[in-house]
Every structure is written in C-alpha cells, then in structure tokens.
Amino acid sequence: MSTLSRPKSPHTPTTTKKGREEDSFWDKFSTLGRKRGTREVKKIQEEGKYAIDSPGSPNQYDIPPEDYALREHEQRAVIDPQSINDPEVVKLQRILVDWINDELAEQRIIVQNLEEDMYDGQVLHKLWEKLTGKKLDVPEVTQSEQGQHEKLNIVLKAVNHTLGFHQKIPKWSVASVHSKNIVAILHLLVALVRHFRAPVRLPENVFVTVVIAEKNAGVLNAQKFQEQITSEYDDLGMRCEKDAFDTLIDCAPDKLAVVKKSLITFVNKHLAKLNFEITDLNTDFRDGVYLCLLMGLLGGFFVPLHEFHLTPQDVDQMVNNVAFAFDLMQDVGLPKPKARPEDIVNMDLKSTLRVLYSLFTMFREYA
C-alpha cells in the first residue's frame, strides 16, 4: 500500500544481481548458510531433499528454505509457486485488489499486492470500517511486529463477528494472515465479498495446490493437496442486478413506504392467528422465527418447534432458522430465494422485501 507511514514487511525479499540466473532451490540453501551454521544448514538440506525427492512425496518445489526449518512435530503449509501463477488464481487476486481499491478510493489507499498489503491488518481495518459503517478503536499505524499482531487480532475478531464465525472456525487466523499466507488471505477476502454482496463476479471453482511439510522423529515429510478458494455461486448478480426494489429504495421512498405497509398488513393478518404482530420488516424477521411460523400458517401445516430455534442465542442459530424457512418455501412450490439467509440476518432490507413479496404474490388470495 502506497502510504509513507506504512511499516515495511518483516520479510524483505533478497535482490539478485543483474544478469544472474535465478537461483535453484538448493542454491538458496547456500545463501542461508551465510546466516546459519554450516552443520545446521547441511541438516536442513538433507531433510528437505529427502522429503521432496523420496518416493510418494510431491515433485520438487521452489519453496524458500526457511519454510523447511521446522521443529519436531511442527507443521507448515506452503503454497505451490506454480499454483499461485495459475491464470484463475491471478484473475481472482486482481479482482479482489480492484474491489478493495474501489472501496477505499476515497481514503486514497492503494493496494497492489495482497500478501504485502493485507498482512498487518491496516488495510483490513479500513476495509471493515468502510463495509460496516462502524469504527474500530485500534491504532492507525503500528510499527512493531507485536503491535501488528495485537491490531490484527482485534481487527480479525471484528471481522469474524461480522461474518458470523461465533462457533465455526474460519480458514484464516492472526498467525496465517500476518505470515502472509496467501491462501488464508484469499479465503478471508472471498468471505467478505460474499457476505457484503460486493458488485464483482468472482471466478468459480478456483483451487490452489498447498504443500504441507511436517517434521516427525527428525524426518521431514511433505504432502500436497488441493485447496478450494471459490465454488459455484447461483446468486452472483448481487448488487449488479437491479430490480423493482432497488428502484423503490433508491428513487421512490414514498412508494416504498406503501409497499412496506402492504407487506406488514399481509404478514400480520396471518401471524395474528398465533397472537403475534410485527412492526418492522427489517428487524422482526432477522432471527427467522416469524418466517418459520409464517410458512407454517401460509402452507397450512404445523412446523415442529424442534426443527428451528424458537429463541436463537447467536447469529448461527438465526441463519439456521432462515435457511430452514427457505427450505419450507421451496417445499410449498416457491423458487429458491435469491437472497442468502445471512442477508436476512444482517437486516438487508432489499433481501427481506424480496422474500416477503414472493410470499405475498403466492398467498395474497388466502386470508
């Protein structure tokens, strides 16, 4: 990121002399030898070569030698350099970089490289504030590595809370992001794009090859596997697809009030059978309880109370409730909602209106 106050990366790449051919994997170990004792380097060389060249291990990878200097039982994941240059991975990174720069353009923050610009939490901090409209009480700039860790820890806690990771474990951590693990950073940014329904189209089914190195009984073993970063999305239009509700909210607030009043009247006509009443479309449906009960009333069937959380305690339970209500909608013949359960929980008014309007269209004749 092009800011004067931004501290340099703790891992500064080594420059090569002009005209010199690129060092091979094992040549890099000789460079390491000038920093460590010859005996230690020789041991690392032997362990790394055995792990890579032994039968059943992955082919030789051009991976920095320090990634193999492991303690006993220590495990480390390294992305295959060939994989990071895959056209789809490159495309994904470019889209994410452009999206971040668009979001933070007013703050004159420019991201050029995800690994180098996201690791310390500074850009992530600003991005979270921009997307949520909230403020986070953390230092603007932290020079020390410890300070970076502390700031990143606070920022990631806020991000994880926003994304609904209260019980589930995310695919990123303070350690992985700060160590510039591009796989973790990609997972994090893709989750933000999906959660906030960013107006971008991500390439589908993007995979990267990850090499896992682990040291056991003094022997270094390496295995590789495919890590999926993006999958297939059936709702990728996101904010790019304009419909009547976009027009109502953006251009006709007076007509929007009429539509909301009609939907509230429709909903309350049915919920009154259970002595319930709603007043706010945004907040009253976010936990999914009324939506589940409404589906039973409209469909003419009893919804077992053990099938959903009558008094949800956290965001995960709210999301499960809304997802269950969406299943009930499909059971009565409605198409799968374009909105995601998370959109209703996050009180996205357009998504809530679309879901309720689909119910109104199908059941308005039934009083």
CA distance 72 to 175: 19
Q: Do domains 81-230 and 244-366 have the same CATH topology?
A: yes
Residue 241 C-alpha from the chain's centroid = 22
The CA-based angle 319-321-325, given to 5 degrees, is 115
Q: Which residues contact 36 (CB under 8 A, 6 or more apart)?
A: 44
CB 164 within 8 A of CB 138: no
Per-domain residue ranges for the chain?
81-230, 244-366
Task: Report pLDDT for 275.
Answer: 94
- Which neighbouring-strand residues pair with 212? 77, 223
CB 256 within 8 A of CB 281: no
CA distance 240 to 199: 6
CA distance 236 to 95: 14
Q: Give pLDDT tens digits along the chain (367 positions).
A: 444 344 434 443 444 444 444 444 444 434 444 444 455 545 545 554 444 444 344 444 444 544 456 677 666 777 888 888 899 999 999 999 999 999 999 898 999 999 999 999 999 999 999 998 889 888 877 778 888 889 999 999 999 988 888 767 899 999 999 989 899 999 999 999 988 878 788 888 899 998 887 777 777 777 888 999 988 764 443 444 455 666 666 666 777 788 888 899 999 999 999 999 999 988 999 999 999 999 999 999 999 999 999 999 888 889 899 999 999 999 999 988 878 888 888 888 888 988 998 898 888 776 5
Task: Report pLDDT for 50.
Answer: 47
| Residue reference for tokens 């799968």 | 336
Secondary structure, 3-state, the chain: CCCCCCCCCCCCCCCCCCCCCCCCHHHHHHHHHCCCCHHHHHHHHHHHHHHHHCCCCCCCCCCCHHHHCCCCCCEEEEECHHHHCCHHHHHHHHHHHHHHHHHCHHHCCCCCCHHHHHCCCHHHHHHHHHHHCCCCCCCCCCCCHHHHHHHHHHHHHHHHHHHCCCCCCCCCCHHHHHCCCHHHHHHHHHHHHHHCCCCCCCCCCCEEEEEEEEEECCEEEEEEEEEECCCCCCCCCHHHCCCHHHHHHHHCHHHHHHHHHHHHHHHHHHHHHHCCCCCCHHHHCCCCHHHHHHHHHHHCCCCCHHHCCCCCCCHHHHHHHHHHHHHHHHHCCCCCCCCCHHHHHCCCHHHHHHHHHHHHHHHCCCC
For the entire predicted model, the pTM comes to: 0.53
* Backbone φ and ψ of 31, nearest 5°: -65, -40
State the angle between helix axes of 289-299 and 349-363 in degrees (0 to 180), rounded to the nearest 10. Answer: 10
Question: What is each CA distance from 272 to 258, 306, 321, 325, in whole angstroms?
Answer: 21, 22, 21, 19
Task: Report pLDDT for 218.
Answer: 75
| 81-230: CATH superfamily | Calponin-like domain (1.10.418.10)
Question: Which CATH number is 244-366's, of 1.10.418.10, 1.10.3210.10, 3.40.50.300, 1.10.1040.50?
Answer: 1.10.418.10
